[in-house]
Copies of this chain bind each other. A is one copy, B any other.
Amino acid sequence: MPMTSLLVLRRTLVLGVLLLLSGAANAQTDPLPSWNDGPAKAAIVTFVEKVIRPGSPDFVPVAERIATFDNDGTLWCEQPAPVQLYFAVDRVKALAPQHPEWKTTEPFASLLKGDLATAFAGGDQAILDLFMATHAGMTVVEFEQIVKDWIATAKHPKTGKLFTDMTYQPMLELLGYLRANGFKNFIVSGGGIEFMRPWTEKVYGIPPEQVVGSSIKTKFEMRDGKPVLIRLPELNFNDDKGGKPVGINQHIGRRPIAAFGNSNGDKEMLEYTQGGGGARFMLLVLHDDAVREYAYGPAKGLPDVKLGAFTQGLYEQAKRDGWTVVSMKDDWKQIFAAGR
């Protein structure tokens, strides 16, 4: 081997060492750049580092690193009303020509006149009627396409941004940080499972099989010789409050070690997560930034769709039980998704 080869070899080795060092440096760059330094960010990083460190008393094998996330108000904006409600209202408008009876039937008549307050005066029944009329009666594949078409262009009434651009940048970073550390992230939302699945992979990196949500019944049948699933106007599962642990057990079959929510609808999911053995992490997002997003405890705004409120009682429970409460105002440098 001539001297030049040796030099090449030495340069290669030096380069290799430099690459290794640079990799180590990269690993130390901040995985949560949109989070201000503070107790919330520190609690997240401390938890992740202790469960991934081999030999740590808190070590958790990769297969058991299950994290569950509420969607509305936790991963994206739910004000002035949950996105799925705008979808339902737009569907009423699109379907109205085929339903002349809606001109004299609530909540449709008021919705078509733009009078949301009257439309939702009917409470839960009005909302149920609205959802069954707009979410059932087609195949699963047809509904998926309807959602895809709608979400591609639907915009927030106040900001004019696409709804999918009103996802929270700090939470997107958190999803990525957990994923990079061997976690499997699941959405566990009171929203419709089939309303979320068409876009969660693109927007959150969460595939359809990791989405848990409320659902209506479906029925298998052969239609014109083709096997299809028909969506029926009948509630199958309400994935909210005590339904969240039930949905988690049904879909995942393991208890999460970390759970993220923002309202009383997430309380049982957080309690259930904390109830397991070993290291656990529970977090609530507090909407306290009226300038950059919305400030709300008990749900406000029109229409009043009974958003699960972040009540004082939940706040006391979070403090008592060591849950992390994120102040959007103080803990987040940036609210909405960047670079979209």
Q: Give complex CA distance A268, B219 in Å.
A: 11
B-binding segment of A161-169, A246-254, A289-297:
A246-254
Q: Which of A232-280 contact B (CB under 8 A)?
A: 236, 242-246, 249-254, 268, 271-272, 274-275
Given known A6-B1, A140-B249, A268-B227, contact A219–B242 (CB-CB < 8 A): yes
Report chain B residues within 8 Å CB of A115.
none
Q: Is A228 an interface residue (CB 8 A)?
A: yes
| 8 Å CB contact of A250 from B63, B215, B227, B252 | B215
Give the chain B neighbours of A252 by CB distance below 8 A. 208-209
Q: Is A134 an interface residue (CB 8 A)?
A: no
Check B251 against A209 for contact (C-beta < 8 Å): yes
Is A218 a contact partner of B249 (Cβ separation < 8 A)?
yes
Cβ of B272 and Cβ of A220 under 8 Å apart? yes
A207 located at the interface, meaning its Cβ lies under 8 Å from any Cβ of chain B in the complex: yes
- Is A275 touching B209 in the complex (CB atoms < 8 A)? no
Assembled-state Cα–Cα distance A215/B245 (Å): 15
12 contacts between A and B (CB under 8 A): A66-B209, A193-B253, A194-B253, A208-B254, A209-B251, A209-B254, A219-B246, A220-B244, A220-B246, A220-B268, A227-B268, A227-B275
Please give 20 more A-B residue pairs, beta carbons under 8 A apart, in addition to A208-B253, A209-B253. A63-B207, A66-B209, A197-B253, A208-B254, A209-B254, A211-B253, A218-B246, A219-B246, A220-B243, A220-B246, A220-B268, A222-B271, A227-B245, A227-B271, A227-B272, A227-B274, A228-B275, A229-B245, A229-B249, A229-B272
